[in-house]
């Protein structure tokens, strides 16, 4: 099957500050005929995630930077539309890291078949994918969550944060979080049962409002933001508190180095443990995570939200929207229905 009208998104230039549409380019990239052992995948959903911003910078990190004028990559759910590989017959739904394109050819080594599940397929990019696994790993393995802990979550309505809040509530914890709008605050409290929420965009004193939301202090901090959030929380941590550092979106679009917290001495005074983590280093725990999360979903003990853009050409706008607070829950791009 020769595919002439295949579109993909390239990084045209390295962003300065918050990315803009001109940093990206939509490119026509025809797909050739299959060879033996190959399959043709039509992507149905793709993910955009904050970590991708770091890959747009030319620097050494835990993962190689994106190359200019080449197709971007990221999590995607697709379906096999033509197969010359018996391991992936036509109709097989698969997960890959070959997002930001409508079609691609694979020998199968980079594909993972989705399980037969009543849960919507795009959930494997969200609550049953990297964001859910990040929340589960960060709380349980990195922070050592215990029943009765007082938990604070920054960016608490995002793809990771909202799941962190729910897992902590299921474990019998007091949970508070920060968000960037009153609508997101209502979502956390009215739908997810979060105990207290701080709107960091309207507060006059972030530390004072976090302190009010956490009257018994903070035992576990799930860090997604950094900056002023980290400085405020360090002053409010309880002795022997644990901080799981998942992300620092406050820094991702900085054009020059930002000063660190002025109160790092609190780490010593309060005997704190701070650990950064990359979820892909913990992927051996994925089967246990899927089993537990699927059970919670089936029991209607946990839920999720999605913010969906439509069409490959909307992928850059969806990605930029992550840094403008336009998503509640997982930000996704839907590429097609068939």
Domain span holding position 319: 7-126+305-334
pLDDT (mean) for 113-122 = 92
- And the tokens for 295? 């059970």
Number of C-beta neighbours around residue 60 at 10 A: 7
User: Does any domain span residue 77?
Assistant: yes
Residue 19 has pLDDT above 50, yes or no: yes
Say which CATH number the domain at 204 has. Answer: 3.40.50.720
Residue 177 shares a structural domain with residue 269: yes
Q: How do residues 62-115 score in pLDDT, each as one tens digit?
A: 889 999 999 999 999 999 999 999 999 999 999 999 999 999 999 999 999 998
Q: Which of 246, 263, 280 marks a domain boundary?
A: 280
pLDDT value for 260? 84
Longest Cα pair distance anywhere in the chain, in angstroms? Answer: 65
Q: Is the pLDDT of residue 147 over 80?
A: yes
Residue 41 lies in a domain: yes
Provide, for the chain, the percentages of residues in helix, strand and coil under a 3-state DSSP scheme, each rounded to the nearest 5: 30, 25, 45
The predicted structure's pLDDT at residue 338: 45
- What value does the mean pLDDT take over residues 138-161? 97
3-state secondary structure of 121: helix
Residue 15 has pLDDT above 60, yes or no: yes
153, 84: one domain: no
pLDDT at 61: 87
Is pLDDT at 31 greater than 60 in this prediction?
yes
Mean pLDDT calculated for residue range 42-50 = 97
Shared domain check, 205 and 267? yes
User: Could you tell me which of 302, 326, 330, 290 has the C-alpha nearest to residue 45?
Assistant: 330
- Phi/psi zone of residue 41: left (φ > 0), alpha (ψ -120 to 50 degrees), beta? beta
Domain CATH for 104: 3.90.180.10
| In the predicted structure, residue 259 carries a pLDDT above the cut 90 | no
Q: Are residues 18 and 154 in the same domain?
A: no
Structural domain total, the chain: 2
Q: Which residues contact 280 (CB under 8 A, 6 or more apart)?
A: none
The pLDDT, as a whole number, for residue 144 is 98
CB neighbour class for 267 (10 Å; exposed up to 12, middle 13-18, buried from 19): middle
Same domain, 139 and 270: yes
Does position 32 have pLDDT exceeding 90, yes or no? no
The verdict on 73 and 157 lying in the same domain is no
Are 28 and 48 within one domain?
A: yes
Q: Is the pLDDT of residue 251 over 60?
A: yes
Average pLDDT, the chain: 95
Q: How far is CA 93 from CA 76, 77, 88, 243, in A?
A: 11, 7, 9, 37
Contact at 8 Å (CB) between 243 and 275?
A: yes
């Amino acid at each position: 099957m020769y595919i002439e009208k295949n579109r993909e998104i390239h990084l045209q230039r390295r962003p300065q500050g918050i990315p803009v549409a001109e940093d990206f380019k939509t490119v026509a990239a025809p797909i050739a005929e299959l060879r033996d052992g190959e399959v043709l995948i039509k992507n149905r959903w793709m993910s955009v995630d904050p970590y991708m911003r770091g890959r747009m910078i030319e620097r050494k990190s835990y993962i190689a930077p994106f190359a200019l004028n080449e197709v971007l990559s990221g999590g995607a759910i697709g379906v096999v539309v033509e197969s010359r590989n018996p391991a992936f017959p036509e109709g097989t739904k698969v997960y890959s890291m070959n997002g930001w394109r409508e079609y691609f050819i694979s020998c199968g080594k980079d594909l993972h078949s989705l399980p037969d599940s009543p849960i919507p397929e795009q959930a494997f990019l969200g609550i049953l994918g990297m964001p859910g696994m990040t929340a589960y790993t960060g709380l349980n393995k990195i922070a050592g969550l215990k029943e009765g802990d007082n938990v604070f979550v920054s960016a608490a309505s995002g793809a990771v944060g909202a799941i962190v809040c729910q897992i902590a509530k299921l474990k019998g914890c007091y949970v508070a979080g920060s968000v960037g709008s009153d609508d997101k605050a209502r979502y956390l409290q009215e739908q997810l049962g979060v105990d207290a929420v701080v709107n960091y965009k309207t507060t006059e004193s972030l530390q004072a409002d976090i302190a009010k939301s956490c009257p018994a202090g903070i035992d576990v901090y799930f860090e997604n933001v950094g900056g002023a959030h980290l400085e405020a929380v360090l002053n409010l941590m309880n002795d022997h508190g644990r901080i799981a550092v998942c992300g620092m979106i406050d820094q991702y679009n900085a054009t020059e180095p930002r000063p660190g917290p002025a109160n790092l001495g609190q780490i010593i005074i309060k005997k704190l443990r701070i650990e950064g983590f990359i979820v892909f280093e913990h992927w051996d725990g994925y089967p246990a995570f899927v089993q537990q999360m699927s059970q919670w979903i089936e029991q209607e003990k946990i839920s999720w939200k999605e913010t969906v853009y439509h069409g490959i050409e909307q992928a850059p706008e969806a990605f930029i929207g992550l840094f403008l607070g336009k998503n509640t829950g997982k930000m996704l791009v839907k590429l097609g229905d068939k």
